[in-house]
Structure 1
Amino acid sequence: MDFNALSGVVVTKESPNYEECCLSWNRAIEKHPLVIVYCQENQDVIQAIKWAKQYGVPFRIRSGTHHYEGYSTGDQLLVIDVSCMNRIELNETTVKVQGGVRNRELYEAVCGAGYPFPGGGCPTVGVAGYTLGGGWGYSSRLFGLGCDQLIEAEVITAEGQLIVANANQHEDLFWALRGSGGGNFGVVTSLTYRLPEKIEMATLINIDYKHVGFAKVVDVALRYQRFFKNLDRRLNLKMAMYNSETKGKGVKLTGLFYGSKEEAQDLLSLFQDATDFDFDYMTVLQANREIQDSHPEFEMYRSGGRFIHRDYSADELLTMLDLIDERAQGSLYTAITFYGLGGAIADIEKDETAFYYRDASFILGFQSVWEDPKYRAINNEWVLERFNVLATYTRGSFINFPIVQPGDYEKNYYGDNLEALKAVKRKYDPEGIFNFEQAIKP
């Protein structure tokens, strides 16, 4: 096996920085690839695909290392890493980014020029993976998902060809890229987005009920559900119902409002009994910086996501919260989180893009976080067992919050769009070389 036939920066098990290059943002993922290629240009990607086919070596595509289940890496395989391909081209109406650009870099460029953008919350998440899975963020109710602003993508196919997908060419692939998740059809090496109108200022919202117990959490959650009925789309909120080592049992609302502090306080006055009721009017860039800075440099966790299509009763919420009444051994934090949908997300028909669950009210996220590696197995088992219970309250799974799950994962992720996605897969990757544990099958 000739590693010299690979181009770009090639890291093997003999390289001094190999262990560092294996690390995922989620430190609970421990994988050891055969070789990692840090691609500098499209030709490096093409060469890597050809090399993998020549030697029959499976491969994965990696950018920000944030895949929840670690499917962007693996043992004894080739990792095609595009994180070094991070150029950004900004003009008055569009922004074009390479496949390795991350959220923070995009926000600095776009918001620094006065534009808002429906990006993600975590600074080191790759923009490509975020977008390909739909792309939820605090600006999504106003501007739509990340994929809704995408107008063109450059993709390297299974044949090692660079093609351009947009509304006029390779339209079927362009449709599929907007919500099907990363790694299914090719290596996306650039994405072009339309830019919203400039907005300079926004209000960052932090509302926290600490050490209040789950009865109070249910009361707040019921208010939150009612609050989202006909909600001003300039506002979006994430609600985390948590059991924390430091904050006890409580609930935190984090949000962004494209309007004044006074208007935001008035809109959210029903939550003013919170322990913390903080509103800060600032530039859109600074608001996104603060959201991103709240994320740690890395974590050790297990998490997954589902879609919520109805309101829950007080009894149902209490039953769900019973699942986190006791944290798993070693866990420092566990939460059931609702991510607000609706607004511009629901303006688009379910079959207009590959992102199917546009009629959902919320995404449900579930997680456990720990620090000592010895607790990984027990936390994994704890999360999976409870995630399967939460699945009975929900319908459909979120591809950007992936988790091993019983039943038909393809149907869970893609709903009625699955057959159309399979047709795209057969056309662009008939041999299924873009393959991983939960890939779309030809």
Structure 2
Amino acid sequence: MERRTFVGGTAAAVMAASTACGPTPPPDPAAPPAPTPKPPTPRSPSPSPSSSPHPPWPALAQDLDGTLIRPDDPDWPTARQLYNTRFDTLTPAAVVYVAHAADIGTALSFARAHDVRVAIRNGGHSYAGWSSGNGRLVIDVSRLNTVRATGDTAVTGGGAKLIDVYRTLAEKGATIPAGSCPTVGISGLALGGGHGVVSRAYGLTCDSLTRATLVTADGSELTADATEHPDLFWALRGAGNAHFGVVTELHFRTHPAPQGVSAYLSWPWARAAAVVRAWQGWGPDQPDEIWSALQLGNATDGTPTVSVTAFSLGTYGELQNAVDRLADQIGASAANVALRRRSYRESMEVYAGCAAFTSDDQCNLPGSTPGRSPQGALGRETYSARSDFFDCSLSEQGIATLLAGIASVRGGTGSIALTALGGAVNRVSPTATAFVHRRSRMLAQYIAAWRAGTSGATAESWLAETHAAMRPYASGAAYQNYTDPTLKDWRTAYYGDAATRLSKLKRAYDPTRFFTYPQGL
């Protein structure tokens, strides 16, 4: 589930057309021995870095079929932006909207020759702002946005956005498990794992990935799948973001996209402890087709709120019975209840915050650069976030600490969302992909949001204090797609026992660490 859905928190936002230690899992099969990494064969020797302090940008622009945008160009104000306004102070050197894989090779060659660091960008939703950077050449893949489906296979360009993937596949009666924020890029989501409202039924986004094509630092174009570069394919499913190359195309196994049933329930804050206690034993143990999240936040008047959002691929009656059982365990009926059946496409548009729009183009950020639309009606947001995985249910003290965090919100908006795991997510072995978080019951996302242009210091302080208070109850792992630049032992938190193997693969496929950022392998 992406951050957009969690910030809403009211029945109208979720249900109306205007929005944004249980059973032991099956034992792991014996993990196959890791193959010796086979590095790619360079197409040509890498040029030596230039000592020139002024790279010849006009020469790069001339060599591209895509578009190079620089600070003096009219489109620069939007081209330089990421989704999160926190990073508006970053000053990249240029943005190149590549037209094809050859453009990527040209841009990488230029960067090597002139000692320019690069950043890889699709949707621009990096929680740490690492799809941009001061003085960097941003390689934006938004123009590589084709989506096609045949039989049980979907092929997307590395720059396709989630809303376009959902809409195109829904026309074929198919889908892939993905997130909710419409402008998130499919490649960034899939390469870091990919949670969404059908993950318990269909697994993570990376679990449906069957092949990826990418351009490595030396300009080589590689295909990674179960037979060709299988070591790299393993790594791309959970640790692929900006570590090994620029992904240009993704192949997925698709799944049926039936009608879905959404539910929203809320209780008075006085019932919050009972809701948390009951939900954490209920959500992860539901049938695979039922996903749910517990949301703790604050109403506009500052009153703490507690609610549960659920989505099911099953019948209306099955979800109704399930939420009735939850209410029985809580010992009180919900104060607000809303259940609604919709088509799969409409359901995804509701979660995306786009259901009220009169045209598909409105479900974009505004602008004339690739990945945006002049008719775009979505806005950017200002927030910071952290995450925790929980392998067991919270103790009574853990629940009290969680609720105290919400009660202590001051300045801006603070919220905590607990997502139910289990199901298809946890039936995959922790060693099968580089996404190792396969034995947890819940994923927590802590969010601090504030008004753009104002200081977020108070909200950031709340976020740090609340996250630190919850760490003793968590597993120590963190979700790599919710990038947290404050993590000290981030290698272990993101990648666990896979970290050593990933480091070896990094040396094999990017020996000079050309692709690098503060938490780069």
Residue-by-residue CA offset, 1:147-179 (whole Å, 9 max, x unaligned): 000000001001111110000000000000001
Deviation above 6 Å: which 4+ runs of structure 1? none
1:229 Cα offset (Å): 5.2
| Mapped pair 1:418 → 2:473 | no
2: CA distance, partners of 1:162 / 1:176:
17
Amino acid at match of 1:239: L
Q: Paired residue for 1:85? A: 144
1:254 Cα offset (Å): 1.8
Residue-by-residue CA offset, 1:29-73 (whole Å, 9 max, x unaligned): 221101110111111111111111111111110000111111111
| Aligned residues between the structures | 434
1: CA distance, partners of 2:301 / 2:253:
42
1: CA distance, partners of 2:258 / 2:452:
42
| Secondary structure of 1:251 counterpart | strand
1:404 Cα offset (Å): 1.9
| Mapped pair 1:375 → 2:459 | no
2: CA distance, partners of 1:319 / 1:122:
29
2:304 and 2:406 in contact (8 A); partners too: no
Q: Paired residue for 1:284? A: 344
Residue-by-residue CA offset, 1:275-315 (whole Å, 9 max, x unaligned): 32111111111111111117963211111112111111233
Q: 5 Å matches for 1:7-18?
A: 7=64, 8-18=66-76
2: CA distance, partners of 1:24 / 1:433:
22
Distance of aligned partners of 1:292 and 1:406 in 2 relative to their CA distance in 1, 3 Å threshold: closer
Unaligned runs of 5+ in 2: 1-54, 355-362, 364-377
Q: Paired residue for 2:426? A: 346
Greater C-alpha radius of gyration: 2
Q: Paired residue for 2:389? A: 307
Q: Which of 420, 435, 439 is equivalent to 2:516?
A: 435
2:285 and 2:422 in contact (8 A); partners too: no
Q: Which of 319, 333, 336 is equivalent to 1:273?
A: 333
Structure 1 stretch displaced more, 342-351 or 15-24: 15-24
1:219 Cα offset (Å): 1.0
1: CA distance, partners of 2:163 / 2:395:
38
Q: Which of 237, 242, 263 is equivalent to 2:318?
A: 263
Q: Which of 315, 320, 334 is equivalent to 2:414?
A: 334
1:96 and 1:190 in contact (8 A); partners too: yes
2: CA distance, partners of 1:39 / 1:69:
23
2: CA distance, partners of 1:326 / 1:229:
28
1:86 and 1:98 in contact (8 A); partners too: yes
Distance of aligned partners of 1:383 and 1:247 in 2 relative to their CA distance in 1, 3 Å threshold: closer
Percent pairwise identity: 28
| Secondary structure of 1:337 counterpart | strand
Aligned Cα root-mean-square deviation (Å): 1.6
Distance of aligned partners of 1:328 and 1:55 in 2 relative to their CA distance in 1, 3 Å threshold: farther
| Mapped pair 1:324 → 2:406 | yes
Q: Paired residue for 1:94? A: 153
Q: Paired residue for 1:184? A: 243
| Secondary structure of 1:374 counterpart | coil
2: CA distance, partners of 1:25 / 1:388:
26
Per the normalisation by structure 2, the TM-score is 0.81
1: CA distance, partners of 2:117 / 2:401:
43
Structure 1 stretch displaced more, 401-410 or 177-186: 401-410
Q: Paired residue for 1:35? A: 94
1:4 Cα offset (Å): 2.4
1:181 Cα offset (Å): 4.4
2:414 and 2:446 in contact (8 A); partners too: yes
Q: Paired residue for 1:174? A: 233
1:76 Cα offset (Å): 1.2
1: CA distance, partners of 2:167 / 2:214:
25
| Mapped pair 1:219 → 2:274 | yes
Q: 5 Å matches for 1:243-258?
A: 243-246=298-301, 248-258=303-313
1: CA distance, partners of 2:70 / 2:457:
28
Residue-by-residue CA offset, 1:380-413 (whole Å, 9 max, x unaligned): 3332333233223212010011112242111111
2:283 and 2:292 in contact (8 A); partners too: no
Residue-by-residue CA offset, 1:246-282 (whole Å, 9 max, x unaligned): 5721112222101121221111113372232111111
Residue-by-residue CA offset, 1:183-234 (whole Å, 9 max, x unaligned): 11110111000112x342111122233xx22x42121111101213531010
Amino acid at match of 1:202: G
Instruction: Name the structure, 1 or 2, with higher relative contact order (CA <8 Å, separation 6+).
Output: 2
Per the normalisation by structure 1, the TM-score is 0.95
Amino acid at match of 1:337: A
1: CA distance, partners of 2:490 / 2:450:
27
2: CA distance, partners of 1:363 / 1:265:
24
2: CA distance, partners of 1:414 / 1:48:
30
Unaligned runs of 5+ in 1: none
| Secondary structure of 2:175 counterpart | coil
Distance of aligned partners of 1:319 and 1:36 in 2 relative to their CA distance in 1, 3 Å threshold: same
| Mapped pair 1:122 → 2:122 | no
Amino acid at match of 2:227: N
Amino acid at match of 1:265: Q
| Mapped pair 1:194 → 2:253 | yes
| Structure with higher strand content | 1
